[in-house]
Amino acid sequence: MVFTSLLRILEIRYNLQTSRNISSSDMFGIFLYILGTGAKVSQCREIFQRSRSTISRHFAIVLEKVSRMATDLIAPEDPFF
């Protein structure tokens, strides 16, 4: 449920889109798997059956979207800080 909620936020507010070769759900899953396990791209390649370049490229895309979300959510209390 949390996965789906976060995915929808990334899709709607931060324009995470399914590409021709990989769904937004798979992109987000790969991103979370790498963060959660510390797996290397070569390990993800075997698990997700994607090329190294696909995994690296889509990890970077999701990272950019999550970073934008973080800057919107994490803000100092003092707006002049």
- Lookup result for tokens 């979207």: 65
Dihedral angle computed from the Cα positions of residues 54, 27, 33 and 64, in that order, rounded to the nearest 10 degrees = 90
pTM, two decimal places: 0.86
The pLDDT, as a whole number, for residue 76 is 74
Per-residue pLDDT tens digits for 9-63: 999 999 999 988 899 999 999 999 999 999 999 999 999 999 999 999 999 999 9
- Would you kindly state where each structural domain of the chain is located, as residue ranges? 2-72
Q: What is the mean pLDDT of residues 70-76?
A: 83
Residue of 1, 52, 55 lying closest to 28 (CA atoms)? 55
- 68 touches 15 (CB < 8 A): no
- 30 touches 63 (CB < 8 A): no
Residue of 76, 75, 74, 72 lying closest to 12 (CA atoms)? 72
The pLDDT, as a whole number, for residue 71 is 86
